[in-house]
Amino acid sequence: MHEIAMAERTALCQVDTLEPGEMVRVEVAGEDPLLLINDAGVFRLLDDDCTHAIASLSEGRLDGNILSCPLHGGSFDIRTGKAKSLPCKQALRTHKVIVESGMVYFEG
Ligand code: FES
């Protein structure tokens, strides 16, 4: 017998509670902390923990598509999760976001 894994949705926030250019750390049961970003109307979801050391990227700075870590200033491209500057080398994981009926959902 084959088991089919069903994707589960978790509501993260209402679309209009996160303005373009804003980001927030969100918690989803069973997941590492996540970072939800309103990228000029496109919602992006990445790991919130920096891949270099221990820092919450939600406390960092967003300049366009580049997210800088508050601790040592390494940076990531929020569209891909790829590390853009040292000391960060390892990419952030990106996650699937669904926007439906005015709500933003994590689907995993
Ligand atoms: Fe993020 Fe060092 S902890 S750059």
Averaged pLDDT for residues 50-68: 97
pLDDT for position 108: 81
Q: Are 105 and 12 in contact (CB under 8 A)?
A: yes
The rounded Å distance from CA 107 to ligand 1 centre is: 27
Measure 27 CA to ligand 1 centroid, in angstroms: 21
Q: Which residue has the tokens 């017998």?
A: 1
Residue 1 clears pLDDT 80, i.e. is over it: no
* CATH of span 19-107: 2.102.10.10
**Could you tell me if the CB of 87 is within 6 A of ligand 1?**
yes
Could you give the ipTM of this predicted complex? Answer: 0.98
**DSSP character for 29?**
T
Token pair of 57 as six digits: 């990227």
Greatest C-alpha distance within the chain: 50
| pLDDT given at position 2 | 63
How far, in Å, from the CA of 91 to the mean position of ligand 1?
A: 12
What is the CA(54)–ligand 1 centre distance, in A? Answer: 7
Contact 78, 46 (CB under 8 A): yes
Residue to substitute in 35, 46, 47, 50 for testing ligand 1 pocket (most ligand atoms within 8 angstroms of CB): 50
